[in-house]
Amino acid sequence: VATPMDFETKDPENEMIKPTIEGVLSIIRSCVKAKTVEKLVFTSSAGTVNVQETQLSVYDESHWSDLDFIYSKKMTAWMYFVSKTLAERAAWEAAKENNIDFISIIPTLVVGPFITPSFPPSLITALSLINGLESHYSIIKQGQYVHLDDLCESHISLYENPKAEGRYICSSHDATIHQLAKMINEKWPEYHVPTQFAGIDEDVPIVSFSSKKLTDTGFKFKYDLEDMFKGAIDGCKEKGFLPYSTNKVKKELITFSIDGNGVEQKKQVKEGGIQIDQIC
């Protein structure tokens, strides 16, 4: 279930949070009414797991984000974390009340090739070292990643597995912002991404999301971190969202809005002296 993503909204409660909750509950009500749905697989988010005041070294399906902490700090994308957490909790409650076979899959940052005509929000974050969107550095400071194709395959695998139940984390690779910068500079040196970041120590520890529950079902990940970023960068180049090279790191101002009904919204990207208008 997609969440409306407008991080510049003036009314996150009514424009993001409530629509997300109502969206999943509406689907569950439709499943109950149809009386033919055998299993519902819900796409949740890592934002439902690890947004807490004290970071752990490893997270699993038993962990939930701290809503009080999120509301108090209101960090970048805070309304997204709230909406996904409340939506998943509401979905679990509704599924139990209606005896629906319900599974939630918790992907970390999804990276890879894409077919959408717009710049996917997850890639705006994943490629923030290239596009210079410093407000997203906190998200990739201690990042976890999964290839889009692996995530899709996990949905099919769990849907077809009669023994699958509960929550499943789907994450194949962990990397700090420094490790990510090193890989990008080695594989795509033309982007000259920064190697030092204000307020982020060079020895910042890895934070992992354990996919043991998923892999214990027999599921195997096929793609590594380089595969993910190659697919994403190649796709962005082809669609004009990234230049083929930069002489220096440039900052972007990106505004985008995708409503819960998939209605197209205007997005404007400004990069240095270049302005690109796209339709989301």
Q: What is the pLDDT of residue 273?
A: 30
Average pLDDT of 33-42? 95
The Cα angle at residue 11 between residues 54 and 65, in degrees rounded to 5: 20
pLDDT bin (cut points 50, 70, 90) of residue 13 is very high
Is the pLDDT at 81 greater than 50, yes or no? yes
Q: Which pLDDT score, from 0 to 100, does residue 265 have? A: 41
Is residue 262 classed as helix, strand or coil in its secondary structure? coil
Statement: residue 262 has pLDDT above 60: no
Tokens of 205: 């520890």
Tell me the C-alpha to C-alpha distance, in Å, between residue 33 and each of 28, 42, 193, 218. Answer: 9, 18, 52, 34
Whether pLDDT at 267 is above 70:
no
Per annotation, catalytic residue among 73, 74, 84, 270:
84
Write down the pTM of the prediction: 0.85
Q: What is the mean pLDDT of the chain?
A: 88
123-176 per-position pLDDT tens digit: 999 999 999 999 999 999 999 999 999 999 999 999 999 999 999 999 999 999
What is residue 252's predicted lDDT score, i.e. its pLDDT?
41
Residues above pLDDT 70, as percent of the chain: 85
Beta strand spans in the chain (E): 40-43, 58-59, 102-107, 109-111, 142-147, 166-170, 173-176, 208-209, 252-255, 266-271, 274-279
* Distance, CA of 175 to chain centre: 15
* Bridge partner list, 5: 258
* pLDDT score, position 107: 98
State percent of the chain over pLDDT 90: 79
Reported residue count of the chain is: 280
The yes-or-no answer on residue 84 being catalytic is yes
Q: Class of 12-279 per CATH? A: alpha beta
Question: What is each CA distance from 16 to 106, 115, 126, 173, 247, in whole angstroms?
Answer: 19, 24, 22, 29, 38
pLDDT in tens, 192-201: 999 999 999 9
Q: What is the pLDDT of residue 136?
A: 92
Domain boundary assignment for the chain: 12-279
Q: Confidence band (pLDDT; 50, 70, 90) for 77?
A: confident
Count of C-beta atoms within a 10 Å radius of residue 144 = 23
Q: What is the pLDDT of residue 130?
A: 96
